[in-house]
Chain A
Protein backbone atom coordinates (compact mmCIF):
# COMPACT_ATOMS: atom_id res chain seq x y z
CA UNK A 1 0.00 0.00 0.00
CA UNK A 2 2.77 2.36 1.02
CA UNK A 3 4.57 1.58 -2.19
CA UNK A 4 1.57 2.69 -4.24
CA UNK A 5 1.44 6.03 -2.40
CA UNK A 6 5.13 6.54 -2.95
CA UNK A 7 4.96 5.80 -6.65
CA UNK A 8 1.90 8.01 -7.17
CA UNK A 9 3.71 10.82 -5.33
CA UNK A 10 6.68 10.36 -7.62
CA UNK A 11 4.39 10.46 -10.62
CA UNK A 12 2.95 13.83 -9.55
CA UNK A 13 6.45 15.16 -8.98
CA UNK A 14 7.47 14.18 -12.50
CA UNK A 15 4.25 15.61 -13.95
CA UNK A 16 4.76 18.87 -12.09
CA UNK A 17 8.31 19.32 -13.36
CA UNK A 18 7.22 18.57 -16.92
CA UNK A 19 4.41 21.12 -16.72
CA UNK A 20 6.62 23.78 -15.17
CA UNK A 21 9.36 23.32 -17.74
CA UNK A 22 6.86 23.60 -20.57
CA UNK A 23 5.66 26.88 -19.04
CA UNK A 24 9.25 28.14 -19.03
CA UNK A 25 9.66 27.20 -22.70
CA UNK A 26 6.51 29.15 -23.55
CA UNK A 27 7.76 32.27 -21.81
CA UNK A 28 11.17 32.29 -23.50
CA UNK A 29 9.98 33.09 -27.08
CA UNK A 30 9.90 36.78 -27.99
CA UNK A 31 6.44 38.22 -28.48
CA UNK A 32 4.94 39.95 -31.49
CA UNK A 33 5.22 43.31 -29.77
CA UNK A 34 8.96 42.75 -29.17
CA UNK A 35 9.44 41.97 -32.84
CA UNK A 36 7.42 45.03 -33.86
CA UNK A 37 9.42 47.32 -31.60
CA UNK A 38 12.66 45.87 -32.91
CA UNK A 39 11.66 46.47 -36.55
CA UNK A 40 12.38 50.12 -37.33
CA UNK A 41 13.89 49.88 -40.79
CA UNK A 42 11.51 50.64 -43.67
CA UNK A 43 10.52 47.60 -45.69
CA UNK A 44 11.14 47.63 -49.41
CA UNK A 45 7.62 46.76 -50.51
CA UNK A 46 8.46 47.67 -54.10
CA UNK A 47 10.69 44.59 -54.00
CA UNK A 48 7.62 42.38 -54.27
CA UNK A 49 7.58 42.17 -58.03
CA UNK A 50 4.08 40.70 -58.25
CA UNK A 51 2.46 43.86 -56.88
CA UNK A 52 2.06 45.30 -60.35
CA UNK A 53 0.31 48.43 -61.43
CA UNK A 54 -3.42 48.47 -61.09
CA UNK A 55 -5.74 48.44 -64.09
CA UNK A 56 -7.62 51.40 -62.63
CA UNK A 57 -6.55 55.00 -63.19
CA UNK A 58 -4.82 56.67 -60.28
CA UNK A 59 -3.38 60.10 -59.57
CA UNK A 60 -0.54 61.16 -57.29
CA UNK A 61 -2.03 62.56 -54.10
CA UNK A 62 -1.19 66.13 -53.16
CA UNK A 63 -0.56 65.13 -49.56
CA UNK A 64 2.10 63.00 -47.98
CA UNK A 65 1.87 59.66 -46.24
CA UNK A 66 4.43 59.01 -43.50
CA UNK A 67 6.79 61.34 -45.31
CA UNK A 68 6.36 59.66 -48.72
CA UNK A 69 4.02 59.94 -51.65
CA UNK A 70 0.95 57.85 -52.41
CA UNK A 71 -1.70 57.59 -55.07
CA UNK A 72 -5.48 57.82 -54.98
CA UNK A 73 -8.06 56.45 -57.40
CA UNK A 74 -9.00 58.97 -60.07
CA UNK A 75 -12.56 60.20 -59.88
CA UNK A 76 -13.27 62.19 -63.02
CA UNK A 77 -13.64 59.13 -65.29
CA UNK A 78 -16.49 57.88 -63.13
CA UNK A 79 -18.53 61.06 -63.29
CA UNK A 80 -20.98 60.26 -66.05
CA UNK A 81 -21.49 63.77 -67.38
CA UNK A 82 -18.01 65.20 -66.88
CA UNK A 83 -16.92 67.81 -68.14
CA UNK A 84 -19.61 69.87 -66.50
CA UNK A 85 -18.79 73.00 -68.49
CA UNK A 86 -20.15 71.34 -71.60
CA UNK A 87 -23.68 72.07 -70.33
CA UNK A 88 -22.95 74.81 -67.81
CA UNK A 89 -22.51 77.63 -70.30
CA UNK A 90 -24.18 80.98 -70.84
CA UNK A 91 -26.41 79.43 -73.49
CA UNK A 92 -30.11 79.61 -72.78
CA UNK A 93 -32.03 76.39 -72.21
CA UNK A 94 -35.65 75.66 -73.06
CA UNK A 95 -37.86 74.91 -70.08
CA UNK A 96 -38.93 71.64 -71.72
CA UNK A 97 -35.27 70.51 -71.79
CA UNK A 98 -34.80 71.45 -68.17
CA UNK A 99 -35.68 68.00 -66.87
CA UNK A 100 -32.88 66.55 -68.99
CA UNK A 101 -30.29 69.06 -68.00
CA UNK A 102 -30.86 69.65 -64.32
CA UNK A 103 -29.79 67.19 -61.68
CA UNK A 104 -33.26 66.22 -60.53
CA UNK A 105 -32.08 62.70 -59.70
CA UNK A 106 -29.63 63.87 -57.05
CA UNK A 107 -30.96 63.78 -53.51
CA UNK A 108 -28.80 65.58 -51.02
CA UNK A 109 -28.57 63.87 -47.68
CA UNK A 110 -25.38 65.48 -46.48
CA UNK A 111 -25.18 67.82 -43.54
CA UNK A 112 -26.16 67.73 -39.92
CA UNK A 113 -29.84 67.09 -39.16
CA UNK A 114 -32.19 68.89 -41.51
CA UNK A 115 -29.61 71.42 -42.56
CA UNK A 116 -28.74 69.99 -45.95
CA UNK A 117 -25.76 71.37 -47.78
CA UNK A 118 -26.37 73.40 -50.92
CA UNK A 119 -24.68 72.45 -54.22
CA UNK A 120 -22.35 75.43 -54.24
CA UNK A 121 -21.00 74.70 -50.79
CA UNK A 122 -18.80 72.09 -52.47
CA UNK A 123 -19.08 72.86 -56.20
CA UNK A 124 -17.38 75.94 -57.56
CA UNK A 125 -19.92 78.58 -58.48
CA UNK A 126 -18.00 79.98 -61.47
CA UNK A 127 -16.13 77.03 -62.92
CA UNK A 128 -18.28 73.92 -62.76
CA UNK A 129 -15.39 71.64 -63.63
CA UNK A 130 -14.01 72.19 -60.16
CA UNK A 131 -14.98 72.00 -56.54
CA UNK A 132 -14.18 74.81 -54.17
CA UNK A 133 -13.48 74.85 -50.46
CA UNK A 134 -14.65 77.34 -47.83
CA UNK A 135 -11.86 79.75 -48.75
CA UNK A 136 -12.84 79.68 -52.42
CA UNK A 137 -9.81 77.69 -53.53
CA UNK A 138 -10.52 75.55 -56.58
CA UNK A 139 -10.14 71.81 -55.99
CA UNK A 140 -9.90 69.14 -58.65
CA UNK A 141 -12.47 66.31 -58.56
CA UNK A 142 -9.62 63.80 -58.33
CA UNK A 143 -8.42 65.43 -55.12
CA UNK A 144 -11.76 65.76 -53.37
CA UNK A 145 -10.18 64.62 -50.06
CA UNK A 146 -8.88 68.17 -49.75
CA UNK A 147 -12.47 69.38 -49.73
CA UNK A 148 -13.97 66.67 -47.52
CA UNK A 149 -11.12 67.08 -45.05
CA UNK A 150 -12.06 70.63 -44.16
CA UNK A 151 -15.01 69.35 -42.10
CA UNK A 152 -14.09 65.69 -41.68
CA UNK A 153 -10.56 66.40 -40.52
CA UNK A 154 -10.47 63.47 -38.10
CA UNK A 155 -11.40 61.06 -40.87
CA UNK A 156 -8.86 62.68 -43.16
CA UNK A 157 -6.11 62.28 -40.57
CA UNK A 158 -7.00 58.60 -40.19
CA UNK A 159 -7.27 58.19 -43.96
CA UNK A 160 -3.80 59.66 -44.51
CA UNK A 161 -2.38 57.25 -41.94
CA UNK A 162 -4.30 54.20 -43.11
CA UNK A 163 -6.83 53.68 -40.30
CA UNK A 164 -9.76 54.96 -42.39
CA UNK A 165 -10.51 53.96 -45.96
CA UNK A 166 -8.68 51.20 -47.69
CA UNK A 167 -5.86 50.27 -49.98
CA UNK A 168 -6.65 49.06 -53.46
CA UNK A 169 -5.80 45.37 -54.07
CA UNK A 170 -2.21 45.28 -52.72
CA UNK A 171 -0.60 45.59 -49.32
CA UNK A 172 2.79 45.83 -51.04
CA UNK A 173 4.05 47.99 -53.86
CA UNK A 174 3.24 51.63 -54.24
CA UNK A 175 0.55 52.78 -51.83
CA UNK A 176 -2.73 53.20 -53.73
CA UNK A 177 -5.78 54.11 -51.65
CA UNK A 178 -9.39 54.77 -52.43
CA UNK A 179 -10.57 58.32 -52.63
CA UNK A 180 -13.32 59.55 -50.27
CA UNK A 181 -15.79 59.43 -53.14
CA UNK A 182 -14.78 55.88 -54.14
CA UNK A 183 -16.80 54.58 -51.18
CA UNK A 184 -19.04 57.47 -50.10
CA UNK A 185 -21.53 59.10 -52.39
CA UNK A 186 -20.73 62.80 -51.93
CA UNK A 187 -24.42 63.69 -52.00
CA UNK A 188 -25.47 61.05 -49.49
CA UNK A 189 -22.29 59.90 -47.76
CA UNK A 190 -23.70 57.66 -45.02
CA UNK A 191 -23.72 53.91 -45.69
CA UNK A 192 -27.17 52.46 -46.29
CA UNK A 193 -28.80 49.61 -44.44
CA UNK A 194 -29.11 46.49 -46.54
CA UNK A 195 -29.33 42.72 -46.34
CA UNK A 196 -26.02 40.96 -45.65
CA UNK A 197 -24.35 39.18 -48.57
CA UNK A 198 -24.70 35.77 -46.90
CA UNK A 199 -25.41 34.20 -43.53
CA UNK A 200 -23.76 31.77 -41.12
CA UNK A 201 -25.14 28.54 -39.74
CA UNK A 202 -25.80 28.38 -35.99
CA UNK A 203 -22.85 27.43 -33.81
CA UNK A 204 -22.99 23.95 -32.33
CA UNK A 205 -23.00 24.68 -28.64
Chain B
Protein backbone atom coordinates (compact mmCIF):
# COMPACT_ATOMS: atom_id res chain seq x y z
CA UNK B 1 0.00 0.00 0.00
CA UNK B 2 1.38 3.45 -0.78
CA UNK B 3 1.87 5.84 2.08
CA UNK B 4 -0.69 8.46 1.05
CA UNK B 5 -3.41 5.84 0.73
CA UNK B 6 -2.49 4.48 4.10
CA UNK B 7 -2.63 7.88 5.71
CA UNK B 8 -6.04 8.51 4.22
CA UNK B 9 -7.17 5.20 5.55
CA UNK B 10 -5.92 6.02 8.99
CA UNK B 11 -7.63 9.41 8.86
CA UNK B 12 -10.89 7.73 8.00
CA UNK B 13 -10.59 5.36 10.91
CA UNK B 14 -9.76 8.22 13.21
CA UNK B 15 -12.79 10.14 11.97
CA UNK B 16 -15.13 7.24 12.50
CA UNK B 17 -13.92 6.53 15.98
CA UNK B 18 -13.48 10.14 17.05
CA UNK B 19 -17.07 11.07 16.27
CA UNK B 20 -18.13 9.21 19.36
CA UNK B 21 -15.27 10.58 21.38
CA UNK B 22 -17.17 13.55 22.73
CA UNK B 23 -19.78 11.25 24.14
CA UNK B 24 -17.08 8.84 25.21
CA UNK B 25 -15.04 11.44 27.03
CA UNK B 26 -18.18 12.71 28.70
CA UNK B 27 -18.94 9.17 29.85
CA UNK B 28 -15.38 8.77 31.04
CA UNK B 29 -15.50 11.90 33.15
CA UNK B 30 -18.86 10.86 34.49
CA UNK B 31 -17.53 7.42 35.34
CA UNK B 32 -14.49 8.76 37.12
CA UNK B 33 -16.74 11.01 39.17
CA UNK B 34 -18.97 8.04 39.92
CA UNK B 35 -16.00 5.90 40.82
CA UNK B 36 -14.67 8.56 43.12
CA UNK B 37 -18.09 8.85 44.73
CA UNK B 38 -18.46 5.14 45.18
CA UNK B 39 -14.88 4.89 46.40
CA UNK B 40 -15.76 7.33 49.12
CA UNK B 41 -18.75 5.20 50.05
CA UNK B 42 -16.81 1.96 49.87
CA UNK B 43 -13.91 3.06 52.03
CA UNK B 44 -16.50 4.14 54.53
CA UNK B 45 -17.71 0.54 54.45
CA UNK B 46 -15.79 -2.65 55.14
CA UNK B 47 -14.10 -3.27 51.74
CA UNK B 48 -10.31 -3.14 51.72
CA UNK B 49 -8.29 -0.43 50.02
CA UNK B 50 -6.96 -2.94 47.44
CA UNK B 51 -10.48 -3.62 46.27
CA UNK B 52 -11.07 0.10 45.74
CA UNK B 53 -7.89 0.44 43.74
CA UNK B 54 -8.86 -2.53 41.59
CA UNK B 55 -12.27 -1.02 40.95
CA UNK B 56 -10.78 2.31 39.99
CA UNK B 57 -8.33 0.69 37.59
CA UNK B 58 -11.08 -1.38 36.04
CA UNK B 59 -13.19 1.74 35.52
CA UNK B 60 -10.39 3.48 33.72
CA UNK B 61 -9.65 0.38 31.67
CA UNK B 62 -13.27 0.25 30.62
CA UNK B 63 -13.15 3.70 29.07
CA UNK B 64 -9.84 3.51 27.26
CA UNK B 65 -9.50 4.01 23.50
CA UNK B 66 -8.74 1.61 20.70
CA UNK B 67 -5.00 0.88 20.85
CA UNK B 68 -4.38 2.53 17.48
CA UNK B 69 -5.85 5.81 18.67
CA UNK B 70 -3.89 5.98 21.89
CA UNK B 71 -0.98 8.34 22.29
CA UNK B 72 2.26 6.87 23.61
CA UNK B 73 1.37 8.26 27.03
CA UNK B 74 -2.01 6.54 27.03
CA UNK B 75 -0.40 3.29 25.91
CA UNK B 76 2.04 3.47 28.81
CA UNK B 77 -0.81 4.22 31.19
CA UNK B 78 -2.94 1.27 30.16
CA UNK B 79 0.06 -1.05 30.29
CA UNK B 80 0.82 0.18 33.82
CA UNK B 81 -2.81 -0.40 34.81
CA UNK B 82 -2.80 -3.95 33.42
CA UNK B 83 0.43 -4.78 35.21
CA UNK B 84 -1.00 -3.43 38.46
CA UNK B 85 -4.28 -5.30 37.99
CA UNK B 86 -2.43 -8.59 37.44
CA UNK B 87 -0.54 -7.94 40.67
CA UNK B 88 -3.71 -7.21 42.65
CA UNK B 89 -5.82 -10.02 41.21
CA UNK B 90 -3.34 -12.89 40.84
CA UNK B 91 -0.28 -11.61 42.68
CA UNK B 92 1.57 -12.05 39.38
CA UNK B 93 4.64 -9.98 38.49
CA UNK B 94 4.33 -9.49 34.77
CA UNK B 95 5.90 -7.12 32.27
CA UNK B 96 3.77 -5.84 29.41
CA UNK B 97 5.55 -4.21 26.50
CA UNK B 98 4.07 -1.84 23.96
CA UNK B 99 7.11 -1.98 21.67
CA UNK B 100 6.32 -0.31 18.36
CA UNK B 101 7.06 -1.98 15.01
CA UNK B 102 10.61 -1.63 13.72
CA UNK B 103 11.37 0.44 10.63
CA UNK B 104 11.92 -1.38 7.32
CA UNK B 105 10.78 -4.70 8.69
CA UNK B 106 8.16 -6.98 7.16
CA UNK B 107 8.01 -10.38 8.79
CA UNK B 108 7.75 -13.49 6.68
CA UNK B 109 7.74 -17.19 7.38
CA UNK B 110 8.67 -20.28 5.41
CA UNK B 111 7.88 -23.87 6.31
CA UNK B 112 9.83 -26.80 4.88
CA UNK B 113 7.35 -29.61 4.26
CA UNK B 114 10.06 -32.06 3.30
CA UNK B 115 11.92 -31.59 6.62
CA UNK B 116 9.13 -31.44 9.21
CA UNK B 117 8.88 -34.70 11.12
CA UNK B 118 5.71 -33.94 13.05
CA UNK B 119 7.37 -33.89 16.47
CA UNK B 120 5.09 -31.02 17.57
CA UNK B 121 7.73 -29.27 19.65
CA UNK B 122 6.56 -26.06 17.96
CA UNK B 123 3.00 -26.49 19.26
CA UNK B 124 4.26 -27.15 22.78
CA UNK B 125 6.54 -24.10 22.72
CA UNK B 126 3.76 -21.90 21.33
CA UNK B 127 1.33 -22.87 24.08
CA UNK B 128 3.89 -22.03 26.77
CA UNK B 129 5.10 -18.81 25.16
CA UNK B 130 1.68 -17.36 24.41
CA UNK B 131 -0.11 -18.29 27.66
CA UNK B 132 -2.71 -20.35 25.82
CA UNK B 133 -5.66 -21.76 27.70
CA UNK B 134 -4.70 -25.15 29.13
CA UNK B 135 -8.28 -26.11 29.96
CA UNK B 136 -9.66 -26.09 26.41
CA UNK B 137 -6.24 -27.01 24.98
CA UNK B 138 -6.11 -24.03 22.66
CA UNK B 139 -3.31 -24.20 20.09
CA UNK B 140 -2.39 -21.67 17.41
CA UNK B 141 -0.47 -24.19 15.30
CA UNK B 142 -1.93 -27.34 13.87
CA UNK B 143 0.21 -29.98 12.20
CA UNK B 144 -1.41 -32.22 9.65
CA UNK B 145 -0.12 -35.67 8.79
CA UNK B 146 -0.60 -35.93 5.06
CA UNK B 147 -0.30 -38.55 2.37
CA UNK B 148 2.39 -37.76 -0.16
CA UNK B 149 1.05 -35.99 -3.20
CA UNK B 150 -1.62 -34.12 -1.23
CA UNK B 151 -1.28 -30.41 -0.63
CA UNK B 152 -4.58 -29.60 1.04
CA UNK B 153 -4.51 -29.97 4.85
CA UNK B 154 -8.21 -30.89 4.91
CA UNK B 155 -7.13 -34.25 3.49
CA UNK B 156 -4.67 -34.77 6.34
CA UNK B 157 -4.93 -36.01 9.90
CA UNK B 158 -4.73 -33.10 12.34
CA UNK B 159 -5.07 -35.12 15.55
CA UNK B 160 -2.44 -37.85 15.19
CA UNK B 161 -0.70 -39.17 18.28
CA UNK B 162 1.68 -41.98 17.46
CA UNK B 163 5.37 -42.39 16.71
CA UNK B 164 6.42 -39.93 14.02
CA UNK B 165 7.50 -39.64 11.27
CA UNK B 166 5.49 -42.37 9.55
CA UNK B 167 6.87 -43.79 6.32
CA UNK B 168 5.15 -42.32 3.27
CA UNK B 169 3.63 -39.36 5.12
CA UNK B 170 4.66 -35.74 5.37
CA UNK B 171 3.75 -33.05 7.86
CA UNK B 172 2.31 -29.62 7.13
CA UNK B 173 1.88 -26.90 9.73
CA UNK B 174 -0.91 -24.35 9.57
CA UNK B 175 -1.25 -21.19 11.66
CA UNK B 176 -2.17 -17.55 11.08
CA UNK B 177 -0.56 -16.55 7.78
CA UNK B 178 -0.61 -12.79 8.45
CA UNK B 179 -2.15 -11.96 5.08
CA UNK B 180 -1.40 -8.59 3.53
CA UNK B 181 -4.97 -8.56 2.25
CA UNK B 182 -6.52 -10.24 5.27
CA UNK B 183 -10.23 -11.11 5.11
CA UNK B 184 -10.48 -11.21 8.91
CA UNK B 185 -9.59 -7.52 9.17
CA UNK B 186 -12.35 -6.57 6.74
CA UNK B 187 -14.87 -8.67 8.62
CA UNK B 188 -14.27 -7.05 12.00
CA UNK B 189 -17.13 -4.65 12.84
CA UNK B 190 -15.28 -2.89 15.68
CA UNK B 191 -11.86 -2.48 14.02
CA UNK B 192 -10.38 -4.52 16.83
CA UNK B 193 -8.02 -6.34 14.48
CA UNK B 194 -5.59 -4.80 12.03
CA UNK B 195 -2.29 -5.25 10.26
CA UNK B 196 0.70 -3.51 11.83
CA UNK B 197 3.30 -1.79 9.62
CA UNK B 198 5.66 -4.75 10.15
CA UNK B 199 3.04 -7.07 8.69
CA UNK B 200 1.76 -8.73 11.86
CA UNK B 201 -2.01 -9.01 12.11
CA UNK B 202 -2.91 -8.22 15.71
CA UNK B 203 -6.00 -7.99 17.91
CA UNK B 204 -6.85 -5.41 20.55
CA UNK B 205 -8.45 -7.85 22.99
CA UNK B 206 -10.21 -5.02 24.80
CA UNK B 207 -12.00 -3.90 21.65
CA UNK B 208 -13.00 -7.36 20.47
CA UNK B 209 -16.70 -7.98 21.04
CA UNK B 210 -16.47 -11.70 20.31
CA UNK B 211 -18.76 -11.76 17.29
CA UNK B 212 -16.43 -14.29 15.56
CA UNK B 213 -16.96 -12.80 12.08
CA UNK B 214 -13.18 -12.95 11.62
CA UNK B 215 -13.18 -16.64 12.50
CA UNK B 216 -15.71 -17.24 9.76
CA UNK B 217 -13.86 -15.02 7.30
CA UNK B 218 -10.44 -16.67 7.68
CA UNK B 219 -9.93 -19.32 4.99
CA UNK B 220 -7.00 -20.83 6.91
CA UNK B 221 -8.63 -21.62 10.28
CA UNK B 222 -6.09 -19.25 11.83
CA UNK B 223 -8.22 -17.79 14.63
CA UNK B 224 -9.23 -19.14 18.01
CA UNK B 225 -12.09 -18.10 20.28
CA UNK B 226 -12.13 -18.07 24.07
CA UNK B 227 -15.35 -19.82 24.96
CA UNK B 228 -14.40 -19.69 28.63
CA UNK B 229 -12.03 -17.76 30.87
CA UNK B 230 -8.51 -18.86 29.80
CA UNK B 231 -6.67 -20.73 32.53
CA UNK B 232 -2.90 -20.79 32.85
CA UNK B 233 -1.22 -22.11 36.02
CA UNK B 234 0.62 -19.25 37.69
CA UNK B 235 3.98 -21.01 37.71
CA UNK B 236 3.71 -21.70 33.96
CA UNK B 237 2.76 -18.12 33.06
CA UNK B 238 5.08 -16.37 30.63
CA UNK B 239 5.59 -13.03 32.34
CA UNK B 240 7.19 -11.30 29.35
CA UNK B 241 4.12 -10.09 27.55
CA UNK B 242 3.03 -7.66 24.87
CA UNK B 243 -0.17 -5.64 24.76
CA UNK B 244 -0.99 -6.97 21.29
CA UNK B 245 0.47 -10.40 21.91
CA UNK B 246 0.48 -12.88 24.74
CA UNK B 247 -1.06 -10.86 27.57
CA UNK B 248 -3.90 -12.71 29.23
CA UNK B 249 -7.07 -12.83 27.18
CA UNK B 250 -10.56 -12.82 28.63
CA UNK B 251 -13.62 -14.91 28.04
CA UNK B 252 -15.37 -14.07 24.80
CA UNK B 253 -12.50 -12.62 22.73
CA UNK B 254 -10.62 -13.85 19.69
CA UNK B 255 -6.97 -14.66 19.72
CA UNK B 256 -4.44 -16.07 17.28
CA UNK B 257 -0.79 -16.38 16.35
CA UNK B 258 0.97 -12.99 16.43
CA UNK B 259 4.35 -14.25 15.15
CA UNK B 260 5.23 -13.90 18.86
CA UNK B 261 5.15 -10.11 18.62
CA UNK B 262 6.68 -9.87 22.12
CA UNK B 263 9.75 -11.76 20.87
CA UNK B 264 10.11 -10.81 17.23
CA UNK B 265 10.09 -7.07 17.86
CA UNK B 266 13.07 -7.67 20.16
CA UNK B 267 14.95 -9.41 17.35
CA UNK B 268 14.18 -12.92 18.60
CA UNK B 269 12.75 -15.79 16.60
CA UNK B 270 9.15 -16.82 17.28
CA UNK B 271 8.89 -19.60 19.86
CA UNK B 272 7.88 -22.18 17.23
CA UNK B 273 10.87 -21.43 15.01
CA UNK B 274 13.23 -21.59 17.96
CA UNK B 275 11.76 -24.84 19.27
CA UNK B 276 11.75 -26.73 15.96
CA UNK B 277 14.39 -29.48 16.20
CA UNK B 278 14.46 -30.10 12.45
CA UNK B 279 14.99 -26.56 11.16
CA UNK B 280 11.80 -26.66 9.10
CA UNK B 281 10.79 -23.19 10.17
CA UNK B 282 12.50 -20.18 8.61
CA UNK B 283 11.63 -16.72 9.86
CA UNK B 284 12.98 -13.33 8.92
CA UNK B 285 12.66 -9.89 7.43
CA UNK B 286 11.21 -9.92 3.91
CA UNK B 287 12.57 -6.44 3.22
CA UNK B 288 16.16 -7.54 3.86
CA UNK B 289 17.67 -9.01 0.67
CA UNK B 290 20.27 -10.83 2.81
CA UNK B 291 17.81 -12.61 5.07
CA UNK B 292 17.28 -16.38 5.11
CA UNK B 293 13.63 -16.02 4.18
CA UNK B 294 14.61 -14.11 1.04
CA UNK B 295 17.12 -16.85 0.17
CA UNK B 296 14.35 -19.43 0.43
CA UNK B 297 11.98 -17.40 -1.73
CA UNK B 298 14.66 -16.88 -4.33
CA UNK B 299 16.25 -20.33 -4.49
CA UNK B 300 13.65 -22.87 -3.39
CA UNK B 301 10.41 -24.11 -4.87
CA UNK B 302 7.81 -22.33 -2.80
CA UNK B 303 4.04 -22.10 -2.75
CA UNK B 304 1.45 -20.40 -0.66
CA UNK B 305 -1.69 -22.08 0.59
CA UNK B 306 -4.86 -20.99 -1.25
CA UNK B 307 -2.96 -18.28 -3.06
CA UNK B 308 -5.79 -18.00 -5.58
CA UNK B 309 -7.99 -16.32 -2.95
CA UNK B 310 -5.88 -13.17 -3.19
CA UNK B 311 -5.31 -12.97 0.55
CA UNK B 312 -1.58 -12.51 -0.06
CA UNK B 313 -0.31 -14.45 2.98
CA UNK B 314 3.26 -13.98 4.27
CA UNK B 315 3.72 -17.69 4.90
CA UNK B 316 5.33 -19.90 2.28
CA UNK B 317 5.78 -23.65 2.08
CA UNK B 318 8.89 -25.00 0.42
CA UNK B 319 10.55 -28.27 -0.44
CA UNK B 320 14.21 -29.22 -0.54
Instruction: Please say whether chains A and B are actual partners in one complex.
Output: yes
**Is B124's beta carbon under 8 Å from chain A?**
yes
CA distance A31 to B164 in the complex (A): 37
**Is A200's beta carbon under 8 Å from chain B?**
yes
> How many A residues face the partner with a CB closer than 8 A?
48
Identify which of B58-66, B86-94, B250-258, B282-290 touches chain A: B282-290
**Is B299's beta carbon under 8 Å from chain A?**
yes
CA distance A159 to B165 in the complex (A): 22
Using CB atoms and an 8 Å cutoff, list the residues of chain B in contact with chain A.
1-2, 5, 102, 104-106, 108, 112, 115, 117-121, 123-124, 127, 137, 139, 142-143, 158-165, 180-181, 221, 264, 266-269, 273-274, 276-279, 281-297, 299-300, 310, 312-314, 318, 320
Given A170-B267, A197-B119, A199-B161, A36:B288 Cβ within 8 A: no
Output the residue of B112, B267, B281 with the most chain A CB within 10 A.
B267
From the candidates B159, B160, B221, B296, name the one contacting A162 in the complex (CB within 8 A): B296
CA distance A30 to B127 in the complex (A): 34
**Set of chain A residues within 8 Å of B115, measured between Cβ atoms:** 164
From the candidates A48, A50, A191, A197, name the one contacting B121 in the complex (CB within 8 A): A197
**Set of chain A residues within 8 Å of B5, measured between Cβ atoms:** 28-29
CA distance A100 to B306 in the complex (A): 58
CA distance A51 to B104 in the complex (A): 16
**Set of chain B residues within 8 Å of A194, measured between Cβ atoms:** 119, 163-164
**Set of chain B residues within 8 Å of A191, measured between Cβ atoms:** 117, 165, 277-278
CA distance A169 to B271 in the complex (A): 9
A residues 157-205 in Cβ contact with B at 8 Å = 158, 161-167, 169-173, 178, 183, 191, 193-203
**Set of chain B residues within 8 Å of A35, measured between Cβ atoms:** 106, 286-287
CA distance A67 to B289 in the complex (A): 12
| Residue interface bits A10-53, CB-to-B below 8 A is 1, else 0 | 00000000000000001011111001100111110100101100
**Is A66's beta carbon under 8 Å from chain B?**
yes
User: Judging by beta carbons under 8 Å apart, are B143 and A50 in contact?
Assistant: no
From the candidates B142, B288, B292, name the one contacting A200 in the complex (CB within 8 A): B142
From the candidates B102, B266, B292, B314, name the one contacting A32 in the complex (CB within 8 A): B314
User: Judging by beta carbons under 8 Å apart, are B287 and A39 in contact?
Assistant: yes
Given A39-B288, A50-B267, A171-B264, A197:B296 Cβ within 8 A: no
| Whole-angstrom distance between the Cβ of A160 and the nearest chain B Cβ | 9
User: Judging by beta carbons under 8 Å apart, are B123 and A173 in contact?
Assistant: no
User: Judging by beta carbons under 8 Å apart, are A161 and B295 in contact?
Assistant: yes
CA distance A41 to B105 in the complex (A): 12
**Set of chain B residues within 8 Å of A203, measured between Cβ atoms:** 158-159, 221
User: Judging by beta carbons under 8 Å apart, are A163 and B285 in contact?
Assistant: no
CA distance A196 to B122 in the complex (A): 10
**Set of chain B residues within 8 Å of A163, measured between Cβ atoms:** 112, 282, 292, 295-296, 299-300, 318, 320
**Set of chain A residues within 8 Å of B279, measured between Cβ atoms:** 164-166, 178, 183
| Whole-angstrom distance between the Cβ of B223 and the nearest chain A Cβ | 13
**Is A68's beta carbon under 8 Å from chain B?**
yes
